[in-house]
Amino acid sequence: MKQTFKLLSITLLGIVISVSALAQENQSQSLRIVRGKTDTVRTNVHYIIGVAQKGSEIFINDMPVKQYKTGSFGTELSLNEGDNIVEVRVVTGPSTETESFSVYYKKPEAVTAVVSDSYSDSTVPLVVTKKGAYLNYSTGGDRLGGAKINFLDEGIKMELLDIKQDLYKVRLSENRYAYIPKRFAEILPVGEETPFSLTSSWSVINTGKADKVTVVLEDKHPYIIYSEPDRLIIDVHGVNCNTNWITQYLDLEAIEYVDLNQKESDVLSVIIKLKDKYRWGYTVGYTGNRLEITVNHTPEVLRSRSRKPLEGLYFGLDAGHGGNSTGAVSPSGIEEKDLNLAMIYMLKEEIENRGGKVMLSRSEDIDSSIQERTDLFREAGVDMVISVHCNAGGSPLRPMGTSTYYRHIENRPLAEVVLKRLVELDVNNFGLIGNFNFGLIAPTDYPAILVETMFMSSLPDEEQIASPEFQKKMMTKVATGVEDYIKMVRSSL
């Protein structure tokens, strides 16, 4: 234990030293423009952001500009159409350094959108899902991959309706279609038949740490998952009901009862009424042709009194980015990946002091995929996942603040109590953000949230988050928020 603590202390010291060394390097650096030195822009609101030796006087087009403790500075300019000359002047003691450049403002041209809704009416093949497959609502997309419906198990066959860029348009049932990324599906030879099933027997059993619903089908079918405050509803497409009984045992802990509803001629709803107010994860998938819905029990330790608030719980902690994935970079050159790792060690210490056990998705400056990180947490059987990042975007001249994110509605209370604790630090409330399409909080296996501490791109935020003392305060608030959530769960049982 002493050796482990020593190694942890060395790791933390190394992180702090690297950030401190970078800060010292920035202190002696000369003028550097990090944003705004752009040849042509299409908006007249333009930001000039730079960094210079600390304690300098900064002037942009002869107007004085505030310099922050990190050495960063910035201002907002209103551009005229055509060429705009920008002069940045830095006065440090007796020396003056000047940099001039031109920014051309070109008004954007009106663009007429052309939308194609055509697809072939001829005979089409089927596609079959691969590992990691998920459905999207539409062809729209963003940097996180478009609006997801839910993940699907592998080996599910669906009719291919059309191909839209990097997406397959697939038929779920007679009246519903969705989209699946090409990399997660394979086109089958023409001649394969679209699956159709009659349901057989159902059972609902207690497996020890979870309750499991089993629906016997003749093939694998796509499903849509709906989560409500006290229910899970799974719509299975391409299925007719031939079930005349549902065997349910008396020792169920998470599930109160299971029912069914043939809501459309080829869509069968599995309705699961839940017992507890707060949830601890569930999974949906196939074993052979049996659809299995597993609902985790509330950890038994929460039904008993513990000496420490988080005792007996296993936490998966994720420091965003790492290795070649630097994340956001602040105007003074601090990399997000370093701050994330420093803060995750601080959060680890806070949670362990409260009795919790911790697994880190990365313990050093390495990169790993979202899939690798989620597989790690799944295989370890963690009870909760928290991912820590720094944000970027928006105005660089005003405080942007902190925020928490959840993907699934059942995780909203956790994200909410953590955010309430964070804003006690008198930072801006950037928001409680739901349905967030971030892969690490997408699994339903466990409660999971994302904490975006502060904005690396905001000069006032950068000044705060660069301080190890402030980082520690934020992570203490995150741990206290988790503790608040556990107290809420205990009081509801």
Confidence at 118, pLDDT banded by 50, 70, 90: very low
Q: Of the candidates 41, 56, 35, which has an alpha carbon nearest to the alpha carbon of residue 98?
A: 56
pLDDT at 305: 82
Residue 97's CB is within 10 A of a number of other CB atoms, namely: 14
Render 1-14 in DSSP notation, one character per residue.
-HHHHHHHHHHHHH
Please check the confidence at residue 319 and state whether its pLDDT lies above 70: yes
pLDDT at 6 over 80: no
Supply 483's token pair. Answer: 């503790």
pLDDT, residue 111, reads 46
**Using one digit for the tens of pLDDT, what is the confidence trace for 37-95?**
999 998 899 999 999 999 999 999 999 999 999 999 999 999 999 999 999 999 999 99
Least confident of 2-11, 394-403, 450-459: 2-11
- CB-based contacts of 414, cutoff 8 Å, min separation 6: 384, 406, 447, 449, 481, 482, 485
Span 128-158, pLDDT tens digits: 999 999 999 999 887 788 899 999 999 999 9
Indicate the residue type of 184.
F
Q: Decide: helix, strand or coil at residue 406.
A: coil
User: Quick one: 403 exposed, middle or buried, by C-beta within 10 A (0-12, 13-18, 19+)?
Assistant: buried
pLDDT value of residue 116: 38
Share above pLDDT 90 across residues of the chain, in percent, rounded to a whole number:
84
Q: Is the pLDDT reported for residue 13 higher than 70? A: no
**Residue 274 pLDDT exceeds 70:** yes
User: Which tens digit of pLDDT belongs to each residue from 355-407?
Assistant: 999 999 999 999 999 999 999 999 999 999 999 999 999 999 999 999 999 99
The CA dihedral of 211, 216, 220, 225, to the nearest 10 degrees, is: -40
User: What is the C-alpha to C-alpha distance for residues 323 and 343, in angstroms, rounded to an integer?
Assistant: 16
What is the mean predicted confidence (pLDDT) over 218-233?
96
- Provide the pLDDT confidence category of residue 238 given band limits of 50, 70 and 90: very high
Model pLDDT, residue 26: 43
Structure tokens at 323: 């290795």
- pLDDT band of 175, cuts 50, 70, 90: very high
* Average pLDDT over every residue of 30-41: 92
Q: What is the pLDDT, as a whole number, of residue 16?
A: 46
Residue type, position 48, single letter: I
State how far the alpha carbon of 294 is from the alpha carbons of 48, 203, 237, in Å. 53, 12, 19
pTM of the model: 0.87
| pLDDT score for 123 | 62
Task: List, for residues 457-491, the tens digit of each pLDDT value.
Answer: 999 999 999 999 999 999 999 999 999 999 999 99
Q: With 80 as the cut, is the pLDDT of residue 97 above it?
A: yes
Beta bridge partners of 320: none
Residue 330, classified by CB atoms within 10 Å of its CB into exposed (0-12), middle (13-18) or buried (19+), is buried
Region 435-462 average pLDDT: 96
pLDDT at 29: 59
Average pLDDT, the chain: 91
Structure tokens at 280: 């601890």
Report how many helices (DSSP H) and strands (DSSP E) the chain contains, helices first.
Answer: 6, 32
256 confidence band (pLDDT: 50, 70, 90): very high
Answer yes or no: is pLDDT of 10 > 60: no
Residue 110 has pLDDT above 90, yes or no: no
Cβ contact 266:239 at 8 Å: yes
What's the mean pLDDT in 197-219?
96
CA distances, 424 to each of 39, 171, 427, 429 (Å): 42, 48, 7, 10
Domains contained in the chain, CATH given: 25-105 (2.60.40.10), 126-187 (2.30.30.40), 197-298 (2.60.40.3500), 302-492 (3.40.630.40)
